[in-house]
Amino acid sequence: MDLGFKGKTALVTGAGSQKGFGREIALLLAKEGCDAVAVTDIIDDVQKTADDIKKIGSKSIAVKADITKKAEVDEMVKKVLDEYGKIDILCNVAGAILHKDYVPLDEQKYETWAKQMDLNLFGTMHVTRAVLPQMRKLKNGAIVNIGSGSTHQYSFGVAVYAISKYAIDLFTRQLAYQEGKNGIRCNCIAPGPAPTNFGAVLREGMPPMPPEQAEKMRENMLAAFPLGRMGTPADIANITIIMASDVTNYITGQVIQVSGGNVME
């Protein structure tokens, strides 16, 4: 299926982690024919991702930016636009769980709430706001946000994160409704558990346990998954680039759970 990426420029946030969704999405956009894939992250590794994109044959620049800082975001987007003249596709992947202390919701520090919202919600909003004006000029654009299965899968310790991601679901829908008339689509991919840095952060917060016990816990968890396995970065990248492409031209405002049947609402 030709995804029609020829001539298109994409911007992918959170593309620094070498085992994360952002990098996988950026590389797949390049493989499927995007002319240019700009990548951004707060960490230096984002340069490696850009180098790998160039090896595939697409143009790329890596721009370091802290997406919680409006000024840095504006400068980052300006740099991409100066370089490529347009952004057709925006993948808002940057995000993380910032609390690993397994305490009840109400005992979580205010600072943690604020930091989590700053990164997952406001970060995505800063980037989107900066990219929108020129998408409106093009009368065309596809935005894909990365949400989270945690919005519908309840577990202790991730509540604040889940709330920030639920806000992404709603941001997706509101933006889709507002920008439909401008030819701009916005959808959200909500991943289930996957072997990214995310799990490592959660494990840090857990009480230490012997390796056999940890393995048992992992097996029990996987056995409870309807499809019996974790997601992979490729699972997320495949559907993200489909939603970024013109073959889904009539799909907007949708949240798609990519979690092997863990979440079906």
State the nearest-atom distance from the C-beta of 118 to other proteins, in Å.
26
Catalytic residue positions?
A: 161
Shortest distance, position 139 Cβ to other proteins, whole Å = 11
Closest distance of CB 257 from other proteins, Å? 6
Residue for token pair 């949708």: 254
Q: Could you say which of 53, 119, 242, 244 contacts other proteins (CB under 8 A)? A: 242
In angstroms, the CA 85 to CA 203 distance is: 43
Q: Considering only CA atoms, which of 198, 209, 213, 203 is closest in space to residue 162?
A: 198
Q: Write down the residue that tokens 């310790």 correspond to.
A: 157
By CB under 8 A, tell whether 193 contacts other proteins. no
Nearer to other proteins, 68 or 232 (CB): 232
Among 181, 207, 210, 220, binds other proteins (CB under 8 A): 181
Q: Which residues are registered as beta bridge partners of 160? A: none
CB of 259 to other proteins, least distance (A): 7
205, 101 Cβ separation under 8 angstroms: yes
Burial of 192 (0-12, 13-18, 19+ CB in 10 A): buried
Choose the stretch contacting other proteins; rule: CB under 8 A; options: 78-86, 125-133, 207-215, 219-227. 219-227
Return all residues near 173 (Cβ < 8 A) that are at least 6 apart: 253, 255
Q: Which is nearer to other proteins, 63 or 135 (CB)?
A: 135
Identity of residue 154: Y
Instruction: List CB contacts of 159: < 8 A, sequence separation 6 or more.
Output: 105, 108
Is position 32 an interface residue for other proteins (rule: CB under 8 A)? yes
Show the binding pattern over residues 93-122: x = contacts other proteins (CB under 8 A), - = does not.
------------------------------
CA angle 122, 128, 242 (to 5 degrees): 115
- Which residue ranges make up the site for other proteins (CB under 8 A)? 1, 3, 32, 173, 176-177, 180-181, 183, 185, 192, 225-229, 231-232, 235, 238-239, 241-242, 247-254, 256-261, 263-264
